Amino acid sequence: MPSDETELLRLENLSARIGRQVLLNDVSLRVSRGECLAVVGGSGAGKSTLLRCLMGLTRPAKPFEGRLCFNGQNIDFAGSGRIKRPHGIGYVPQNPNHGFDPLKRLDWQWRQAARVVTGRAGISETQARLLEELGLKPFERHFPHEWSRGMQQRLLLAMALMGEPHLLVLDEPTSALDPLIAAQVLRAVMRHAEKLGVAVLIVTHDLSLAARYANRAVIMNAGRAVESGETATLLKDPQSDYGRLLVKHRDWMALEGAHTSRSIAAE
């Protein structure tokens, strides 16, 4: 397959399974440099599994087919050996409870992350500037719970940006946070991503959120990528059944009484 300069990530025919159960079936996607791509799907569609595979994690679901090309690194999922982890992906988990150890001080957690990413513990000048731009105060001797959830989430974002990633992955940025914090964090993410030219991959169940931020979207259902394309065209003219359902139920304002009994089978 030809690859051009702007392409950052190319995933071809990824399949993954837990035991005998196949969770991902022949999923392909592309991300260009600096773009924002959304992966949209309901619960159980395989969105999180896809994310974990992209980051080179093989448990609980193990990829058994497909290839990943990320920023010049080639990873073959079909081989029997250990799967390499691609470098240059920053990950912001769903909520701070997943991201921090509640019993360790923030300072310690930051230094651990810094040691892994840059090889040096401590806060460098660029990192200090990043923290300041995100509106974070010095750690002192604080534990995670002593900060508000919004600040914790922004600190996680800072940790993800620390290694100057090429791709930033947001896992369900709205579902576990209240809207005020979620919006605040998303604004910070988008501002920094644009400034640093980082591509963003948003995983979400909410098409209206995806439509707000992403240029392109991939719709997943039951382990398959059923549809992909420009968000605007997707919204206007969805091709797949699941896509049509998503578009129909995009807005709260489109809530209607009369015709939904047919679509309940899809739950």
Size of the site for other proteins (CB under 8 A): 39
Q: Which is nearer to other proteins, 90 or 150 (CB)?
A: 150
Binding mask 212-251 for other proteins (x = CB under 8 A): x--------------------------------xx--xxx
Q: Which is nearer to other proteins, 42 or 163 (CB)?
A: 42
Residue 18 corresponds to which tokens in the numbers above?
Answer: 């837990």
Q: Which residue has the tokens 């896809």?
A: 50
184 binds other proteins (CB under 8 A): yes
Which residue in the set 183, 196, 222, 235 belongs to the binding site for other proteins (CB under 8 A)?
183
Distances (CA, A) of 66 to 56, 83, 140, 168: 12, 12, 46, 22
- Interface residue with other proteins, options 21, 43, 59, 140 (CB under 8 A): 43
Q: 172 near 203, Cβ under 8 Å?
A: yes
Mention every residue, 6+ apart, whose C-beta is less than 8 A from residue 22: 15, 16, 223
Tell me how many degrees the CA angle 155-32-168 measures, rounded to the nearest 5.
Answer: 10
Give the nearer residue to other proteins in terms of CB position, either 68 or 186.
186
Sign of CA dihedral 188, 192, 195, 201: negative
255: contact with other proteins by CB under 8 A: yes
With vertex at residue 35, the alpha carbon angle to CA 34 and CA 36, rounded to the nearest 5 degrees, is: 130
In the complex, least distance from residue 205 CB atom to other proteins, rounded to whole angstroms: 4
What residue ranges bind other proteins (CB under 8 A)? 42-43, 149, 174-175, 178-184, 186-187, 205-212, 245-246, 249-257, 260-261, 263-264, 266-267
